[in-house]
Amino acid sequence: MQERLEQIKKQLQSQQLKLTPQREATLQILLENQEKHLSAEDIFMLVKQRNPDIGLATVYRTLELLHDLRIIEKLSFGDGVSRYEFRSDDHPHHHHHLICLKCGEVSEIEDLLDDLEMRVEREHKFKIVDHRVNLLGYCESCQQEMKLKNM
Amino acid sequence: MQERLEQIKKQLQSQQLKLTPQREATLQILLENQEKHLSAEDIFMLVKQRNPDIGLATVYRTLELLHDLRIIEKLSFGDGVSRYEFRSDDHPHHHHHLICLKCGEVSEIEDLLDDLEMRVEREHKFKIVDHRVNLLGYCESCQQEMKLKNM
DNA sequence: ATCTGTGCAAAAGATTTGCAGTTAT
DNA sequence: ATAACTGCAAATCTTTTGCACAGAT
């Protein structure tokens, strides 16, 4: 965890950029919530708890910077806000998301598309570099709840 | 084409809703641009050419209504605007989108996920009702252009 | 000195809402 | 009469930008 921070610090310094307290706090929140998909506002509120003097614009600028450096991903689930998460080199591609239409929970599943992508690249002559796959439906607990209530 | 309009008119009337000139004009634009993915602003400008007195809010309200009635789909490609398109009963699920990162063109390909979805439903006990699949990369002509310019 | 980074307030862009007036039933 | 519908302007929400100041090199 901390070694990841050190690594990022070096990446920043190699381009005359600084790992300021605000940026470090933002990264810390992102590191502690790797499995979540936080919005800029979420991140802002969490960072503010530890560093009350930070401004929302700074969070946005930090997220933009980290995105440009390919350190984080910027996701859109179509609900009007962008969400951010750490980019792990294990998955050069996005994992897929299961989005529950009832409770709104977003969970991740493994990448299933490799075979299909090869087929698409061949058949459509389209060079794929990334994908966004969101499956919409009902999670297990909401399915049970709906069954009980006869919905 | 016109029979689709009649059909929608009946669907509206069955719920005491009206097919007003504004709604008809909006539907007409949507019908004429089935393969495109128009934003609300795009639709507004196209409708305004024929019906200059329409307001943007009316277009938004019409699109929301048509979406609630499942007549159109609301799509998000993560660029900050919602896009709308006719919902065809042939594809209860969305088709997939190929999004070119260079020229921005969005094209559609057939649905490839049926087998995978069955697997996901089984392994994750998640009932899938829809999906959004966007493949990001480079279209054929941008690939060629990049090859020429050695990018 | 210069460049990077910051907070704040204002601006921007997309979408929604309140409201008073209009239209269809 | 009643309920649906409209345009307009104002409000809202997320994100970006301008600017004057602060900190590091």
- Render pLDDT for A101-126 as a digit per residue (tens, 0 to 9): 777 778 888 888 888 888 899 999 99
Closest residue to B112, CB basis, from A116, A136, A137: A116
Query: In terms of C-beta density within 10 A (0-12 exposed, 13-18 middle, 19 or more buried), how is residue A32 classed?
Result: exposed
Testing the interface with B: which of A37, A136, A151 to mutate, by most B Cβ within 10 A? A136
Task: Say whether the CB atom of A121 is under 7 angstroms from strand D.
Answer: no
> Where are the domain boundaries for CATH 1.10.10.10 in chain A?
1-87
Q: Kindly report which amino acid residue has its CA closest to the C1' atom of nucleotide C9.
A: A57
**Under the phi-then-psi rule, with left for phi > 0, alpha for psi from -120 to 50, and beta for the rest, what region is A63?**
alpha
Which residue of B lies nearest to A146 if distances are taken between CA atoms? B127
**Under the phi-then-psi rule, with left for phi > 0, alpha for psi from -120 to 50, and beta for the rest, what region is B125?**
left
| pTM reported for the whole predicted model | 0.76
Tokens 């509206």 sit at which residue? B12
Q: Which sign, positive or negative, has the C-alpha torsion B49, B34, A79, A81?
A: negative
Quickly count: other Cβ atoms within 10 Å of residue B121's Cβ. 14
Q: What is the CATH number of domain B91-151?
A: 3.30.1490.190
Out of A14-18, A56-60, A113-117, B145-149, least confident range: B145-149
> With a cut of 70, which residues of chain B have pLDDT below it?
1, 89-93, 149-151
Q: Do the Cβ atoms of B133 and A133 come within 8 Å?
A: yes
CA distances from B28 to A40, B1, B52 (A): 38, 9, 15
Q: What is the CATH number of domain A1-87?
A: 1.10.10.10
> Where are the domain boundaries for CATH 3.30.1490.190 in chain B?
91-151
For A29-42, write each residue's pLDDT tens digit. 999 998 889 999 99
**Who touches strand C, with Cβ under 7 Å?**
A 12, 16-18, 20-23, 53-55, 57-58, 61-62, 80; B 18, 39-41, 56-57, 60-61, 64, 80-82
pLDDT band of A94, cuts 50, 70, 90 = confident
Q: Do the Cβ atoms of B109 and A132 come within 8 Å?
A: no
